[in-house]
Amino acid sequence: MGGAYCNGDLTFSPNYDFASSQDLRFSKQVHDNVHGNIYLDPIFLKFIDTEQFQRLRDLKQLGMAHMVYPGAVHSRFEHSLGVYWLAGEAVHKLKAHQGLELGIDRFDIQTVKLAGLLHDVGHGPFSHLFEREFLPRVLNGSKWSHEQMSVEMIDYIVDEHHIEIDADPIKRVKEMVLASSEFAQPKSRREKHFLYDIVANGRNGIDVDKFDYIARDCRACGLGCNFQFQRLMETMRVLGDEICYRAKDYLTVHKLFATRADLYRTVYAHAKVKAIELMVVDALMKANDYLDIASHVHDPSQYWKLDDTIIKTIETAPDQELRESRDLILRIRRRDLYQFCNEYAVPRDKVENFKDVTAQDIVCSQKSGGLILREEDIAVSNVKIDLTRGRRNPLENINFFKDYESEEKFSIADDRISHLLPTSYQDMIVRVYSKKPELVGEISKAFENFQLKTYGIKAQVHATPEKKKRRI
């Protein structure tokens, strides 16, 4: 399929007059509360105006965080529009500053923007809970990922809605969506590799996806955000097929990763948010045999029907088989949550060889004499917080340049910015919860015993409140 764009047909031809698509007569204007006016070109509305993309309206960006931060009700839909807009802004700025040198054409602009628009079209319900907590428990050994499902969903949308688009741009869009995942194409096979770092950057983690969700999540949760992505977008340039940044902007780059880590500590991994997520996972597990939820992930034609409203489906269904799941959701509604017992940070010298703590570990650490603990009465959350590069300094993988006359790129050594660096780039926090209020005291004691047995010290952050220990 090829030809020119006209009368609503969609092709990605290098001869397509992209400039005309920027004319307000041909664009749909949407006001976004983060980026202001966003203009949706007609070619992309072909994808937006599908039930598969509109499904993103029913996926909250932050899963269950709105139960703690009431303003966090924004969706994957508005985030995807934001990434689409920033992807376009980024490639346009590179073209304006280095267009002839880089050979950026209309085809490149279109594919980068479409990748930004569709990068999350395969995302699951409840943010990353579905993919990281629920599916591993029901699909043993599966390597399912929302990035891979996004790729399958793109093909499904094109086929289902008979969107006229050439195979090459779709292939490149899918590669850009997968660029930061384990399914990424090797760099050596990519032409204009720097374009693949704009939406999902597997090379160093700086991409417009992060730019949007950091700004959007901070705003929604009422948190301050001192990271200015606009500064990086204005001054970035490509050297050696790689997007690099001015050396004087290293502070701004560091703030990107530091702000993301702060969001994990204060929002994404908030102790009560995690308690609610553990309850949602248990509710989905109890409903899975009857509703066969996990089977949806293998077929895009079924998967797009799965979103956050599954909670309401379970909650209002009269089926006896869903009673236990309904009861858990009712507990969430009534704020009768799993009780937080305690937490500890894994000693830094033990992080490298850390293995997830399980409910069985806690049960096996119980001393005789108290109430008998069972694994099904305990929930454990193992939380990893890093700066996107695990235990490594993220600045190691980022190249900078001195000024716009320079053709040399370089990394910035730790000793240049030692006053900024944390003593550790990765924290592991283990939290234990009791599913029954009357067991808080006994589980807390077993948790303390586990720490003493494992590390020879009690590393917990604070003592379990006596009122919780005595609650019956």
At 446 the pLDDT is 94
Query: How many distinct structural domains can be found in the chain?
Result: 2
Does some domain include residue 156?
Answer: yes
451 in the same domain as 397? no
146 included as an active-site residue: yes
Residue found under tokens 């005309």: 20
Catalytic residue among 146, 193, 254, 270: 146
pLDDT tens digits, 332-387:
999 999 999 999 988 888 888 889 999 999 999 998 777 889 999 999 999 998 76
Does the pLDDT at position 243 exceed 60?
yes
Does some domain include residue 283?
Answer: no
242 in the same domain as 134? yes
At 189 the pLDDT is 64
For residue 191, what are the domain limits?
18-270+388-416
At 72 the pLDDT is 97
89, two tokens: 């802004």
160 in the same domain as 225? yes
Of 378, 398, 416, which closes a domain? 416
At 99 the pLDDT is 81
Task: Tell me if 129 sits within 8 A of 280, measured CB to CB.
Answer: yes
195 in the same domain as 46? yes
At 455 the pLDDT is 82
Sign of the CA dihedral running 408, 413, 419, 425: positive
228 in the same domain as 191? yes
pLDDT tens digits, 305-315:
999 999 999 99
392 in the same domain as 372? no
CATH number at 375 reads 3.30.70
Of 377, 399, 416, which closes a domain? 416
Distance in angstroms (rounded) separating the CA atoms of residues 264 and 452: 27
Mean pLDDT of 292-311: 95
Distance in angstroms (rounded) separating the CA atoms of residues 112 and 441: 54
Does the pLDDT at position 10 exceed 70?
no
Mean pLDDT of the residues in the chain: 88
144 in the same domain as 85? yes
Highest mean pLDDT among 15-19, 82-86, 96-100, 220-224 belongs to 82-86
Does some domain include residue 133?
Answer: yes
pLDDT tens digits, 379-415:
999 999 876 655 567 788 899 999 888 889 999 877 6
Does the pLDDT at position 210 exceed 90?
yes
CATH number at 187 reads 1.10.3210.10
Does some domain include residue 333?
Answer: no
CA 184 distance to own-chain centroid: 17
Distance in angstroms (rounded) separating the CA atoms of residues 228 and 230: 5
363 in the same domain as 217? no
Q: In terms of residues, how long is the chain?
A: 472
Amino acid, res. 453: K
Does some domain include residue 437?
Answer: yes
At 365 the pLDDT is 93
Does some domain include residue 311?
Answer: no
412 in the same domain as 457? no
Predicted model pTM: 0.90
165 in the same domain as 81? yes
Does some domain include residue 148?
Answer: yes
200 in the same domain as 67? yes
361 in the same domain as 249? no
Distance in angstroms (rounded) separating the CA atoms of residues 84 and 198: 11
Distance in angstroms (rounded) separating the CA atoms of residues 452 and 344: 12
**What are the distances in angstroms from CA 362 to CA 60, 146, 366, 377?**
33, 32, 7, 11
Which residues fall within 8 angstroms of residue 103, CB to CB, at 6 or more apart? 192
Mean pLDDT of 148-171: 95
